[in-house]
Amino acid sequence: MCGIIGVLGNHEAAPILVEGLKRLEYRGYDSAGIATVNGGTLGRRRAVGKLVNLSDVLVHDPLAGKSGIGHTRWATHGAPTVDNAHPHRAGSVAVVHNGIIENYKELRAELTAKGLAFTTETDTETVALLTESYLRDGLTPVAAAAETIKRLHGAFALAFLFDGEQDLMIAARQGSPLAIGHGVGEMFVGSDAIALAPFTDQVTYLEEGDFAVLTRNSIEIQDRNGTLANREKRQIQLDMARIEKDGHKHFMAKEIAEQPTAIDRALVEYLGQDNTITLPENLDFTQVERLTLVACGTGYYSCLVAKYWFEQIARMPVEVDVASEFRYREPPISPDTLALFVSQSGETADTLAALRYTDGKAKQIVGLVNVPESSIARESDVVLPIKAGPEISVASTKAFTCQLTVLLLMALKAAEVRGQSLPDNVLDDIRALPGLVHQAIAAENNIQAVARDLASARDVIFLGRGALYPIALEGALKLKELSYIHAEGYASGELKHGPIALIDETVPVVVLAPRDALFEKTVSNMQEVMARGGKVILVTDAEGARVASDGVSETIIMPALPDVLAPVLYAIPAQQIAYFTAVAKGTDVDQPRNLAKSVTVE
Ligand code: M6R
């Protein structure tokens, strides 16, 4: 969480920093700030709330200078106030930080004893004060920053700027991502390549423990042992430079609408015209006894759906874990385990830590990511990009359906190489997915009416059976994060074991029930809800609606389709229900409160 940007440039830094921060705002939006060096003097501006507030401050109180650092914050230590906003300054150093300094209390005590005064509640101020104390001891800026880094425990990406130093920036990384952008006579620093895309397409990713000394024309990187390191310069895709809503009211609406194209891209990547599934050559399902799938949030629900596919189609035993629990449980990992980590951003700290736990234990580490240059991608033995394209809205949509598409192809490939027969015509059926998703999106008008009703609910329940159960969980997560309505997803058959006590006429129940082999059972569970006054919103196909709509408040009709594809398609109404409910409630759709897109702290 938190986004950082820096520039040693030939033009005014403030507009560059604000443009970079705009692209990083998905990482946090509690407060924002910039600092520059102008005529050798450090100055800074900060504001609470969205970036637009900082822009307002800069209109009334501009900040000149061609060297600068900027930050958009997701608060960890200390409330979102101007004082706690980055950059943090102590004497002649200013610092921006993404991550958590775990030993900040000890450092704070040490610095306080030395007579240095703290003015914020943040862990980051410790970094600025420690550097300042080394400067006072007579160290150079580079040496002071290097000594400071040696004292820090925890996760950080840091950029330092110094009074009197127009052509110097220090960048350091441990646990949080950081990239250097190479311009012509200019140098940039950013939390990701998307932030740097408007300024350069030449990027170097810092590795764990790297310490970089930047000037406009040079970069010197030392690795964690202090040895000079040669890090590759890569060319990033130019489409990253375009982050626009394209006429949609929100990025989320745009990203929902993009799903047919995104899924098609994933299919083109992995499914040949002759229906051959081509996965990376080194991905080996043959000698695998067990699959361990690990992710957070929406990615976790992709994994839960994949469990049904891998077990039913490939007949492989599968375990699924939330990443934040995984490594602390210390699960035994046998050498015949294939460990798969699913992450849109590829930077989620919990997932990355889980990956590192399995490193050296599992047969192979596979990363399923949307950002091919991400940390998870770089630390995996095998990488499968999901091809969703940049996802900006905090609520994940197209990444989810692309994850599902690639996971389904993986399960089918695993079945093939392990001698299991595939469901009839499944590969031809998959080709129909983009068109079916397009039709599902077109059902949105009915969903808008449903959403207007849901907007006044206090609690909402989502039900699904089989591989639709994780979609019920995903529907509830989307509704919670976007509209702040309490929502829970349950396996339909589980309702009677407790949660049914919640049902009355004030609790809408969304039932995801394609007309599949389990349909009759789900309908029975739905009847149990209606018998207790519960208001049912049934999402089904035309045949399901014909036989089961009696007594139901609203029916949302999906195209009929083979059972195996239903989780992908039924994700669409789940997303749209959340989206339109949030719009009806007037909440901040793309940047819901308290959240950030990329969660780089544990
Ligand atoms: O980037 P990741 O896929 O690793 O992110 C995991 C979760 O933080 C993410 O899916 C989160 O749950 C979304 N906001 C859900 O919409």
| pLDDT tens string 536-591 | 999 999 999 999 999 999 999 999 999 999 999 999 999 999 999 999 999 999 98
Q: What's the half-sphere exposure (Cβ side, CA atoms, 13 Å) at 325?
A: 8
pLDDT for the residue 153: 94
| Per-residue pLDDT at 23 exceeds 80 | yes
- 367 Cβ contact partners less than 8 Å away, ≥ 6 residues apart: 340, 341, 343, 346, 355, 376, 377, 379, 380, 382, 383, 384
**Better pLDDT: 75 or 388:** 388
**Is there a cis peptide before residue 87, judged by omega within 30 degrees of 0?**
yes
Tell me 395's DSSP state.
S
What are the pLDDT digits (tens) for 238-272?
A: 565 567 888 999 999 999 999 999 999 999 999 99
Cβ neighbours for 175, distance < 8 A, ≥ 6 positions apart = 99, 154, 155, 156, 208, 349, 600
pLDDT single digits (tens) 418-429: 999 999 999 999
54 lines ligand 1 (CB under 6 A): no
The gap from C-alpha 297 to its chain's centroid, in whole angstroms, comes to 9
- Residue 412: is its pLDDT beyond 70? yes
Residue 395 main-chain phi, psi, to 5 deg: -75, 125
Instruction: Compute the distance between CA of residue 248 and CA of residue 254 in angstroms, rounded to an integer.
Output: 6
Is there a contact between 390 and 361 (Cβ–Cβ < 8 Å)? no
Residue pair 44/33 in contact (Cβ under 8 Å)? The answer is: yes
Ligand 1 midpoint to CA 512 (Å): 22
Predicted pLDDT at 59? 96
Q: Which helix (H) or strand (E) holds 213?
A: strand 211-214
**Strand spans (E) along 66-139:** 67-73, 88-90, 93-101
Sequence-separated (6 or more) residues with CB below 8 Å from residue 416? 277, 422
Lowest mean pLDDT of 68-72, 291-295, 368-372, name the range: 368-372
- Give the pLDDT score at 600: 76
CA of 552 to the centre of ligand 1 (A): 32
pTM of the model: 0.85
Contact 50, 591 (CB under 8 A): yes
Q: What is the mean pLDDT of residues 136-149?
A: 97
Q: Which residue's CA lies nearest to atom 4 of ligand 1?
A: 343
Q: Tell me, what's the pLDDT at 534?
A: 92
Check if the beta carbon of residue 37 is closer than 8 Å to that of residue 25: no
The sheet with strand 179-182 has its strands ordered as: 41-48, 31-38, 67-73, 3-8, 187-190, 179-182, 202-205, 234-235
Cα of 298 from ligand 1 centre, angstroms: 5
92 lines ligand 1 (CB under 6 A): no
pLDDT number for residue 599: 81
Atom of ligand 1 nearest to the CA of 595: 14
Residues shown for the chain: 602
| CA–CA dist 368, 486 (Å, integer) | 30
At residue 458, the pLDDT reads: 96
Asked if the model's pLDDT at residue 445 lies above 80, the reply is no
Average pLDDT, the chain: 94
pLDDT of residue 7: 98
Closest C-alpha to ligand 1, atom 12: 297
Burial of 278 (0-12, 13-18, 19+ CB in 10 A): exposed
The answer to whether the beta carbons of residues 294 and 341 sit under 8 Å apart is: yes
Residue 554 CA to residue 9 CA, distance in Å, equals 58
Ligand 1 mean position, distance from CA 136 (Å):
43
* pLDDT recorded at residue 372: 85
Q: What is the pLDDT of residue 360?
A: 94
* C-beta of 348 in contact with ligand 1 (< 6 A): yes
Q: pLDDT value at position 155? A: 85
Catalytic site residues? 2, 597
The confidence score (pLDDT) of residue 596 equals 81
578, 483 in Cβ contact below 8 A? yes
